[in-house]
Structure 1
């Protein structure tokens, strides 16, 4: 029986947003919100961990927009999915975290255009809610896994409830190598 809330209920697949080999020794899944200041603080920490662990780590990002607290979170998540369809998920992901104060719809479209995505098509998809269901599925997979805040991390399918600052998270990941 699965211990709901401690295990990742939706396994990582090639359909996820991932960096690294899905078969790596360590798979770090983050449920995150582009407007969340804590996720913004975790962003460079995860980048540093990725650099340190290299091919031993597969990093997965799943959208978990906390729309009741963050008015731009839902559209930012949907915008990241539009960017993914254009082959620019990770570039867009980085731009969103590096520009958390510019997540209104106009800024989202500008970010897309700056990455070479079709701005008009981007705006049409965003306003049409093209990826609303995909974001909702990601959100629900988090809820099913016991996620109730961001960032929430899972390591090799198990929830990590420790401190997500660099040293403790790196120490924990290194202990599993």
Structure 2
């Protein structure tokens, strides 16, 4: 599987992703399957993305019933998403709240590391994003296996989950800065 021709495209994509990338798109998940793509989202320390259904409806909950803050915000790399969309001839958006033109690989995006988008500060979660059934349904089981190859885990190919450290607004074009 590591001889997969997509690996060459992946390496080129990651090598060309800037270290000071920008937000390329935003998403708020309203109800199952309903998504809005605004030019700006607000992120709250307690709620995550304001208006996003994950505050009350996600797979990861605390004992008190509230959503787990470690998965408040989902972030993915635009180049990986575009690579998958092109390969599968599918414009599916997986619902990540923030899509960035930035390499999300470790060591910059290790568990616990923080980064800034506008005034917002997010912390990389210890919850690994191994993709959901909808993602596999849209891009295929082969892609799901491919992005979860153990040797690729440090690349965060499916993206990262984050906890909000400092809230504020994020808009398309905001610069991502690793802290």
- TM-score, normalization by structure 2: 0.30
Going by fraction, where is helix more abundant, 1 or 2?
A: 1
* Greater strand content: 2
